[in-house]
Amino acid sequence: MDMNGAIYDVFAETSAKAAGIHEGNLTYIGDDGLRRCKVCGKKLETILHFNSPALKHMDGMKVNCICICDKAQREKVEKEMQMLAKKSDAPIMRAECFKSKAMHDMVFKNDDSPNSEAGSTTRGYVRSFNNNSKWLFIYGTYGTGKSFYAACIANALIDKGYTVRMGTGADYEAEIFAAQDKAAAYQKLLDYDLLILDDFASERKSDYMFEVLYNIINDRYNAKKPIVFTSNMTTEETGNPTDPRIRRIMSRIWERGYPVEMVGQDRRKAGTAWK
């Protein structure tokens, strides 16, 4: 089944559940032509509208919803509907998340080491993710799959309806530098459900770069919003960075997050890098 068909089926299933909850309730037809509850007067039907061109054929779809007589059920269904609306924009969200289209295909189903520490930890991170999730620091030598697993996390969360941005320090520095309204640019990076900082501490080490990175990281630290880092740092370097600017950031990371060390050969040199 294609994505559009799957989304249609979920809406149809949610609509059927809502209809079942209010089966037998007294109803009437409102001025808008939609069925309403006689007890609270709220709508038991609604019309769906979609911004995504891919779902235009479903625009105007009538579905059942839940009135405030069962607030808990109503809130649950409304949350499902909101997440589904976000899912419908997944291609747009993916394009915003990644600079490279190749990362759209970096997903867990292409992982040939699902039972490794990195494979199980990153999958668990997605399963338990919420806006207060801990930070994740994926580190190790070149070519061991750090960016692959970070992209897998991003794609899995986008499929769940979360907003994610993945970039290097240089990407974020250029974005802040080019912005006329720098406060708004920082706020945009704070607003993502998850921010991924790829190749941390591998960038050119200018004071401006570290000022930008510290501001981004500190904003999310204060807001208790999650970050996933990837880094080529060694275990010794993570525990005792020689650069005081990195040391200041690492203190934030170890307070809020936990490490995943990637070991093994350089898969790029071996010709076994994930696609």
Single-letter amino acid, residue 130: N
Contacts of 273 (CB under 8 A, 6+ apart): 143, 145, 148, 267
pLDDT of residue 142: 84
- Distances in Å between the alpha carbon of 46 and those of 35, 83, 107, 160? 9, 17, 35, 23
What secondary structure letter does DSSP report for 134?
Answer: P
Q: Note the pLDDT tens digit of each residue in 33-77.
A: 888 887 788 888 888 877 766 666 777 888 887 776 766 666 776
The reported pLDDT for the residue numbered 198 is 96
Does this model's pTM top 0.75?
no
Q: What is the DSSP letter of 39?
A: T
CA-CA distance, 136 to 109, in Å (whole number)?
Answer: 21
> Please, are residues 267 and 145 in contact by the beta-carbon 8 Å criterion?
yes
Cα dihedral 228, 233, 239, 242, rounded to 10, equals: -120
Two tokens, residue 6: 């799957």
Give 260's strand partners: 138
pLDDT bin (cut points 50, 70, 90) of residue 270 is very low
Write out pLDDT tens, residues 238-267: 888 888 888 889 988 999 988 999 887 665
- Confidence band, pLDDT 50/70/90 cuts, at residue 28: confident
